[in-house]
Structure formats: structure tokens, C-alpha cells
Amino acid sequence: MTPTTPVAPTGSERFADAVRQAVTEGLLGEQQPVAGFIDTDGVRGSVAALRAAFPALPGTLHTFAAKAASLVPVLRLLADCGMGCEVASPGELRLALDAGFAPADIVLDSPAKTREEIRLALALGVAVNADSFDELRRIDALRTPDSVSVLGLRVNPQVGSGSIGAMSTATATSKFGVALHDAGAREAVVRAFTGRPWLTRLHAHVGSQGCPLELIARGVAETYQLAEEINASLRTQQITSIDIGGGLPVNFADDTVRPSYAAYVAALREAAPGLFDGRYSLVTEFGRSLLAKNGFIGALVEYTKDAGGRRIALTHAGAQTATRTVFMPDAWPLRVGAFDSQGRPGTGPLLVQDIAGPCCFAGDVVAHGRELPELREGDFVVLYDTGAYYFSTPWAYNSLPRPAVYGFARAADGEGVRFAPVRDAQSLDSIAAESGLAHADALTRLTSGASGI
């Protein structure tokens, strides 16, 4: 008999064991009706695929976009994998530092940096990508000669939009970067580098979900050509690194990882062959593509009901954890798995059902008209591909608590799953504190002419 090569389980199959074990251990159930889960082995595998796809150029830095999973243990896992971190706010910078990223491996991007943010980044040695000429002038005033921060300028190559306008950052009127094709802008960029020998990086980010590889690659190619033009004008290689952003879209239709990092690099090679000849160090800022398929949300089915001939399963995973899906279901569809009360894959008769959430508005539905094994009270649903942006950054609608998050890995002997806490479920005391409990009487004591502070 010819031996066969073992087939690696798909994400859905891989997660089935974790769902069953989470229910057994009480991580999902009556006391904790919704939780997020991160597959740590999967995360390490995604980082390895990223590194394998890109050439080993000197100085290349792969950073993780903190906004995709702003959880310190997740960030620390990525730091342990050798990643850097891209941040876009004071909070994200704090989380990156707490997670253990070296300041030199952190890149600060934001279109609205305050002077204090810039001052702190420069003091720490964090790289900064200025988003505008006005921000460059602020850096002029705040930078000291002994600063070790790598400093760059973000440009908008204006190559157009993908299928989701809100995720496309290289449109003609995008709020990000210097609009490269506006009258006089290209010349102004060259002048900005001419007067600032410490300005050594060029940055662009075309977009993410909904953006085809060809569009992203075209924006990177335009940025590369601009770097070549600036260096030629200055007769020296002042620009030594190019930050090409992130933005690899994720396939939400099935378990397949597509497009791959290898396919992205192939598109870059075709659009800008010189990008990989070793003259420029590269920075990447991937987020969703590293985490999305390595996480899921599990939620208890609290009730089921019928309305207008449609079965509705009311669960605890709605707009508070899947905000984009609820408000833009066509752009952000999620696959749903049905599990029984023991956390085992559902085997009942197939039935067309809506999967609704707990939020008090009619549109709080994460999946419409899905054919799934019939769900009953006490069963569970799983929302796949939610490892990025979903449970890590929940919406506080209805004062619903932030769900607990757990990391998991298969046991060393291959039998069973081990869990580790990432974030505790939010308590009602914490909700009250965040809602101003310490100042409960402040407004009732406020009278005309009196100071309330």
C-alpha cells in the first residue's frame, strides 16, 4: 500500500477541539456566554509564512498593526516571534512598550499626532512616519540632533479604491499622506527631503480588505519610483528604507488562506523589480492577514424563536464584537459554525436561520438566512475568521461587557487543547467605573455660576 501524506486539518476542524474543550472547562457557557479565542500555533505559522515570502534583505522589519489585536499577550507573542509593531495612538504605543517591543522596532503612524506624541516618540527612539508637511514642520521644531528615531514621510499614491471605500487609503481624496498627484505635490515632496537630511524613509499604504493585489502593488511601485527620483535629485541615497504598509486582504469565504504572502511578493516583484535589489530596507505593517484566520468567537444560544417563517437564534455575539459585519454584512460576511450543548459540531437537520446578537436594535444580526444544523437553547455558535479586529476591540453598546479572550494550543502529545487567559471578561464594576461612577453626583451639584471641577 502506498503511504499517504497526512492532511493538515482546516481552521474549522482545528477549532472544533478547542470549542469542545472550552465548553467542558466552562470557558463558554451560562457563566460566560461569549468569548474570543486565539490559536497561538496558527499565529506562529502565519508569521513564518510572512518571513518565508519576503527576501531576507538587510534591515527589513515586519511590524504588526497593533489595531488589529490590541491585546498585550497577543502583542507579546508576536514580539516573541521577532515582529516589530506599528502603532497609531498613545494607547497603542503604551501597549507595544508593555508587550516588550524595543522602541527601535516600533513605527508610529497617525494622521493627527499631537506634539506630545511626537516628542515622546522621538525621546524613545520610535520611528515616525509624518503624515503631512505640517507634521514635518512640527518634527523640525521638536527633533534634537541626538535623536535616533528613523523618520519618514507618508505619501498617497492616489492609485484608486478597492471594493470597500472605507478601507481604501490611496483614493484621490484620502485623509492619509501627501496626495502625490495633486498639483505641485511631487515637487514639494522632493523639496521636503532636500532640506532634511535626517528624513530617510518613504511610506505608503494603499488599503486593506477589498483591495486587489495589483492595486496595492501599483501603489508600492509608485512609492518606489518616487524614492528613486528623490535620491537621484539629491545625488545620494538619502532614502534608505521604504515602508510599504500592510493591507493583505483576507478570504472570509472558506478556510483557504488567500491571497498568500508569496502571491503578494510576486505581485510586488512584477510591479517594482528594483524594490528587492538590496538598496532599500523594507518595513511592512500587516495586521488582519496575520490574525484573522487564527481566531474565533464562541457564543451561547440563549433563545430561539420563529418570525415570519424564519428561525432566529439569539446569541451573545452581536454588534458589540462583530461591529463591521453587522453594519456592512456584504463587505464583512462571517462564516458560522453550529455546535451542540456539549461543544460538539452540530449534526441536527439543516435549517435556514438568522444568527442575531444581544444588542437592542433590530439590525444586530451577524448572519442572515444561513443553512445550519438546527440550533436550540443551550447550543453554541462559532464565528470564524475573527482573530483580528473583532473581540479584541469590542464596541461598548448597551454597556455590554468586553468578553474574555483565551489563547489555545494543542497539547504536546497531540491530545486535547490547553488554554491560557489573554483578557478577563469585563466586570459590572468596571463598566460602572468607566461610566463615571466616581462622579455620580457631579451634575446634580452643578449650579449656575459654580465650578464643577
- State the DSSP code for 55: -
Out of 81, 85, 211, 360, the active site residue is 360
The CA distance from 220 to 242, in Å, is: 9
Nearest to 334, CA basis, from 360, 303, 361, 372: 372
3-state secondary structure of 439: helix
Contacts (Cβ under 8 Å, ≥6 apart) of 172 = 158, 160, 179, 181
β-strand partners of 409: 418
The CA distance from 303 to 313, in Å, is: 6
Are the C-beta atoms of 425 and 401 separated by less than 8 Å?
yes
The CA distance from 239 to 368, in Å, is: 50
Rg for the chain, CA atoms, rounded: 24
Nearest to 35, CA basis, from 231, 294, 239, 296: 296
- State the DSSP code for 117: H
Are the C-beta atoms of 66 and 96 separated by less than 8 Å?
yes
Are the C-beta atoms of 319 and 95 separated by less than 8 Å?
no
The CA distance from 243 to 205, in Å, is: 8
Retrieve residue 266's grid coordinates. 510576486
The CA distance from 360 to 22, in Å, is: 28
- State the DSSP code for 337: E
Cα angle, residue 414 at apex, residues 412 and 417 outer, rounded to 5°: 80
Nearest to 315, CA basis, from 227, 375, 373, 262: 375
**Grid-cell match 472550552, residue found:** 22
Are the C-beta atoms of 352 and 310 separated by less than 8 Å?
yes
H helical segments located in 25-57: 40-53
- State the DSSP code for 319: T
85 belongs to the catalytic site: no
- State the DSSP code for 144: -
Q: What residues act catalytically?
A: 360
